[in-house]
Structure 1
Amino acid sequence: MKMLASLALGVSLIASAAVAQTAAPRADQTEFRALYKELVETNTTLSAGSCTLAAERMAARLKAAGVPDSQLTLFAVPEFPKEGGLVVVYPGTSKSLKPMLLLAHLDVVEAKRSDWVRDPFTLIEEDGYLYARGTVDDKAQAAIYTDTLIRFAKAGYKPKRTIKLALTCGEETSGAFNGAEWLAKNKRELIDAEFALNEGGGGRSDGKGNLLVQSIQVGEKAYQDFTLTATNPGGHSSQPVRENAIYAMADAVAKIRDYEFPLEFNDTTKAFFAKAGAMRKDETGKAMAALSANPADGAAEAVVNKDKMLHSMLRTTCVATLIDGGHALNALPQNVTANINCRMFPGRTAEETRAALAKAIGNPGVKIEERVKDKPIAKAPPLDPKIVGPMEKLAAKHFPGIPVIPSMSTGATDAVYLGATGIPTYGVPGPWTDPDGNGTHGLNERIEIRSLYAGRDYLYDLVKVLSSK
């Protein structure tokens, strides 16, 4: 799951620029719209959809554009036949340059028709927006990357650097089959690259046609769920005792609520707080700048912590999300469980996070276990000027006057699996969302048509520039 342009800068706090008004679509945009529509309308939910079908449809379009079968690898495993994906290898002319990798996921979050105003799996245009599940997360990027290689093939473009594209499944569901993880573990040579471009960056508008900021995601937290378990022999509810599994769990969850992981900075978050803080003219902006200069400034931290996004960027966070317990209305509980969802700061391990939770709870009777074991540690990639520089330069061309800020996502993407194999992965600028997040992961997901087309043009140029050097 991504947090597209996770920047809470505030509409009035930075200079904005009006995005060019929508003109009649170009011929290439019309062709792209058909590809995008086909991908969006292919249901890829875990419950009822098929990423395998979506991958096959994208492969068919690439083949029709002239990409040979030898450059297309459709993959799936027998246990999960509908959760397959596609890897494309578009060869470069250089024998010394390592490839670049484009990564996007095909799967989407569940969407019930009864909850939505419109059919979530029919692309519907209204008031300058396109509505459907996956219009943003992450089929916009998957479609743009696929379309980019189609355009390259039709034009006969020969990059210096080989371009690889991996369209995978499983990003939206922790514990499900994950295509990026499977490729990293089983087909490392197929996706081997010097660096990768992924989701997680992007723009933020004021919701009124003004683009405020573009971000480059340089690092993210690692996702981990912990299961807390409290047990008790139980008994008849007419004779209650103090040792109660529900009370033990309630105490444990309350202590986690009150526990604050220590503040941390890395190169990305330090740059973000300094640059974004300097743009803001309010108390929070001053505190951000002060904290980046002196992480021990407790007064500045207290101000920054009032903003939930900024607070989360500074530390590991853990929160109770589910609780279950008891077996009868008239019996003392024998077993109570709770799920604690943690987002671990880059470099932090599940074991040290588990140990911190155990210390905060202070009750060895409450068992703590990782829900999914052996997940990789999040590794923040470097602020490499060879990659970040072209992103910023092209953003100045495509989005003049708009600041570009490196950021660390408080969410998580499949970048964690690539980082674990030594492939630094960056979330790119491009399409933007409104302040409400455009319904991503929620109801009535949508993308502004101007955002989709402008982001497509930017990413096409970015891939061309990065593959030509």
Structure 2
Amino acid sequence: MAMAAEVTDADRAMAREILEDAIATPSAKGRGQVPALIEMFSARLRKAGFGPEDIQLVPVDIDGEPTAGLVVRYAGKNPATKPIAFLGHMDVVDALKENWATDPYVPTEKDGYIYGRGSTDNKAGVTALIASFIRLKAAGFVPERDLLLAFSGDEETGMMTTRALTKHPLVSRAEFALNSDAGSGLEGPDGRYRFNIQAAEKTYANFTISARNPGGHSSAPRADNAIYALAGALKTVEAFRFPVEFNEITRIMVADLVEEQGGELGGALTALLANPDDAAARAIAEKYPQQSNILWTTCVATMLQAGNAPNALAQNATATVNCRIFPGTSVDAVQARLANLVGDSLEVKLLGQGVASPVSPVNRPLFARLQKAMDATYPGVTLKPSMSSGGTDGREFRNAGIPTYGAGALALRAEDSRAHGTDERVPIAAYLKQLDYWDALLRDLGGRT
């Protein structure tokens, strides 16, 4: 492994400047600013010595708006060796200025934080990687194999750029990918840190359940009422339980939860590990949805639309049902189950696209190297593989056959988890500490094959 270079005040100032410039570029869908953000990154990379051939755009037109993914190649000595891809997303969920204490697109320092949209999700990740590539280039580091940045431009809305990135001739060859968007950790009230290695995530899919009939005047109610039919169907969906499932990642997670939680939940999880069909243990686990949602597929009604006038029987009634699907279960299978539950008189349709997300295999040599980088940043933190109930670019990379794992060292307190919400902020010290982590990891992974 190449010797680490001490992070200097100049390095920190450079990384912070890149972050603030990124926050000031409103890269939400509809604003057309992702290309401007890419140009800002590219100008800095060119100045650092990356050639035009090393900085490649992956243009995509989405609903008439031009956007793009970004691929940056840090050329290695042996281009025949499979590269490593480092992921992040440049786009953000838009923000309403009137709801914020600060302007969401004017980076503002306050109380040790930088406030601004995207400050944690995910501009803290992509800018720390950009800064780390620049630092390594300035130090004269030459990796043994190619290191690639693969940044998407629409992770928050459709992941079309993500899919295009997985087909890029450089990125598609990656041995594996490390996702900065799944690399943050938690600093507890006791000052202890917890980081995981995301190795799986649930598939995200939306379905509509619709009831229709001829309707009529509200003064003459009829037996086949569309709203009542939909309500009955939703109660059936509410009562249904998808089976308990495990994979090699969630077995590790559940065993850790048993040790950490103990008590009623720990006992229930132990019973489910031994017998996934234990109904009594499941009933207890369901009382702890924040922990138990990794055990099964979930489907829940989130939106309703029905009727067209207060004095008319509804002709249409539709509910949106959001499902988070356990890896290995297909979207089609969940749709078929919902259709079976609600019966032939109602229609179940997939909204948009649902993408299956297989589990990345446990890679113990890689995990050891991730642990080594964490030891250099937050000593005493033990990394464990995990599965996320949310969705990231990682699902598309896994679906394309590229094993993908969460990596990073951004430590947040519980009150700092404001992604997509108002007054999003990143702790300045925690943001800058990422430079130590990425220096150690990039040198280690790039220094050998």
TM-score, normalisation: structure 2: 0.93
The answer as to 2:381 corresponding to 1:402 is: yes
Shift of residue 167 of structure 1? 1.4
RMSD: 2.0
Matched-pair contact (CA < 8 Å) for 1:276–1:405: no
User: What pairs with 1:267-416 in structure 2 (closer than 5 Å)?
Assistant: 267-361=248-342, 363-373=343-353, 375-416=354-395
2:69 paired residue among 85, 92, 109: 85
1:51 paired residue among 34, 48, 54: 34
Letter in 2 for 1:180: T
1:178 paired residue among 157, 160, 180: 160
Using a 3 Å threshold, how does the CA distance of structure 1 residues 66 and 42 change in structure 2: closer, same or farther?
same
Matched-pair contact (CA < 8 Å) for 1:98–1:194: yes
CA distance in structure 2 between the aligned counterparts of 1:243 and 1:254, rounded to whole angstroms: 17
Using a 3 Å threshold, how does the CA distance of structure 1 residues 78 and 257 change in structure 2: closer, same or farther?
closer
Unpaired stretches in structure 1, ≥5 consecutive residues? 1-23
2:9 paired residue among 26, 31, 41: 26
Matched-pair contact (CA < 8 Å) for 2:69–2:162: no
TM-score, normalisation: structure 1: 0.89
CA distance in structure 1 between the aligned counterparts of 2:151 and 2:212, rounded to whole angstroms: 43
Identity %: 35
Letter in 2 for 1:52: P
Cα deviation per residue 1:203-236 (whole Å; 9 max; x = unaligned)? 1112x47133111101101111112221111111
Match of residue 14 from structure 1? none
Matched-pair contact (CA < 8 Å) for 1:42–1:49: no
Matched-pair contact (CA < 8 Å) for 2:27–2:33: yes
The answer as to 2:102 corresponding to 1:149 is: no
Match of residue 3 from structure 2? none
Letter in 2 for 1:202: S
Matched-pair contact (CA < 8 Å) for 2:195–2:381: yes
Shift of residue 91 of structure 1? 1.0
2:151 paired residue among 164, 167, 174: 167
Shift of residue 293 of structure 1? 4.8
Question: Please, which moves more after superposition, 284-293 or 32-41?
Answer: 284-293
Matched-pair contact (CA < 8 Å) for 1:438–1:447: no
The answer as to 2:90 corresponding to 1:106 is: yes
Matched-pair contact (CA < 8 Å) for 1:94–1:161: yes
Helix, strand or coil at the partner of 1:114: helix
Matched-pair contact (CA < 8 Å) for 2:193–2:411: no
Using a 3 Å threshold, how does the CA distance of structure 1 residues 178 and 397 change in structure 2: closer, same or farther?
same
2:399 paired residue among 420, 436, 447: 420
1:218 paired residue among 199, 204, 209: 199
Matched-pair contact (CA < 8 Å) for 2:30–2:65: no
Helix, strand or coil at the partner of 1:439: coil
Shift of residue 188 of structure 1? 4.5
The aligned length equals 440
2:422 paired residue among 443, 462, 469: 443
Matched-pair contact (CA < 8 Å) for 2:16–2:432: no
Matched-pair contact (CA < 8 Å) for 1:166–1:191: no
Using a 3 Å threshold, how does the CA distance of structure 1 residues 111 and 95 change in structure 2: closer, same or farther?
closer
Match of residue 8 from structure 1? none
Matched-pair contact (CA < 8 Å) for 2:60–2:161: no
The answer as to 2:55 corresponding to 1:75 is: no
Match of residue 437 from structure 2? 458
2:173 paired residue among 192, 207, 226: 192
User: What pairs with 1:231-246 in structure 2 (closer than 5 Å)?
Assistant: 231-246=212-227
Matched-pair contact (CA < 8 Å) for 1:431–1:456: no
CA distance in structure 1 between the aligned counterparts of 2:374 and 2:393, rounded to whole angstroms: 24
Shift of residue 189 of structure 1? 4.3
Matched-pair contact (CA < 8 Å) for 2:187–2:411: yes
Match of residue 6 from structure 1? none
Cα deviation per residue 1:367-425 (whole Å; 9 max; x = unaligned)? 1111124x431111011012111112222232122232221000111112111221001
